[in-house]
Amino acid sequence: PIERVAHDTERDYFMTAEEAKAYGIVDDVVTKK
């Protein structure tokens, strides 16, 4: 929901690639082989 995104981005919020995927910001995490 937009309210959650607005609340979570109110201040600087850093997350790992895996957290971003779980949050729904990214679809996939690409890793170097």
Confidence grade of residue 30 (pLDDT, cut at 50, 70, 90): very high
Residue spans of alpha helices (H) in 1-33:
2-8, 17-23
What would you measure as the largest C-alpha separation in the chain, in angstroms?
38
Tokens of 4: 């959650």
pLDDT higher than threshold 90 for residue 18: yes
pLDDT higher than threshold 90 for residue 28: yes
15 touches 6 (CB < 8 A): no
Type of residue at 17: A
pLDDT, average across residues 9-14: 83
